[in-house]
Amino acid sequence: MDKNIKVLLVDDEEEFVKTLSERIQMRDLGSNIAYNGEQALKVVKDEVPDVMILDLKMPGIDGMEVLKRVKKAYPQVQVIMLTGHGSEKDEKEARKLGAFDYLQKPADIDTIVGTIRKAYKKRIEKPLMAATFAEAGDFDSAKDIMDRDD
Partner 1 sequence: MSVFDKLKPLFWDHEDAAAGHYKRLFDFRGIWYQAVVFTAVVVLLPLIFITLADYSVTRKSAESEILLRTSRFVSNTRRTVSFFLEERRFALVFIVRDNSYEEISGAVRLGAILDNLRKGLGGFSDLGVIDASGRQHTYVGPHNLEGKDYSGQEWFKQVIEQGYYVSDVFMGYRRIPHLVIAVKHELDDGSFYVLRASVDLERFKRLLSQLEVMGGGGAVITNRKGVLQTPCEPCGRDALEKIPFPVPEYSTHTQVFEEEVGGKTMVVGYAYLLDTPFILMAIKDKDALMQPWYGTRRQIIGFLGLSVTLVLVVVIGMATYLVNKIYTADRRRVMALHEVEYSNKMASIGRMAAGVAHEINNPLQIIYEKAGLIKDYFTYKPEYKEDPRLLVLVDAVISSVERCGAITKRVLSFARHGEAMLQPVRIERLLEEVLGFVNKEAEYRSITVTLEVDEDVPEFDTDRGKLQQIFLNLINNAFSFLKESGSLTVAAKRKNSDWVAVSFADTGPGIPAKNLERVFEPFFTTRSSKGGTGLGLSITYNLVQELGGKIVAESELGEGSTFTVTLPLKPGKKGGPNPS
Binding site for partner 1 (CB under 8 A): 13, 15-16, 19-20, 22-23, 26-27, 84-85, 87-89, 104-106, 108-109
Residue 37 C-beta: closest distance to partner 1, Å: 18
Residue 108 C-beta: closest distance to partner 1, Å: 8
Residue 107 C-beta: closest distance to partner 1, Å: 9
Q: What are phi and psi of 3, to 5 degrees?
A: -55, -25
Residue 16 C-beta: closest distance to partner 1, Å: 5
At residue 120's C-alpha, the angle toward residues 79 and 89, to 5°, is 30
Q: What are phi and psi of 137, to 5 degrees?
A: 95, 0
| Of 18 and 68, CB closest to partner 1 | 18
Local structure of 77: helix, strand or coil: coil
| Of 36 and 141, CB closest to partner 1 | 36
At residue 113's C-alpha, the angle toward residues 112 and 119, to 5°, is 90
Instruction: Tell me how far apart the alpha carbons of residues 71 and 145 are, in angstroms, rounded to a whole number.
Output: 16
| Of 97 and 109, CB closest to partner 1 | 109
| Of 114 and 144, CB closest to partner 1 | 114
Instruction: Tell me how far apart the alpha carbons of residues 100 and 92 are, in angstroms, rounded to a whole number.
Output: 12
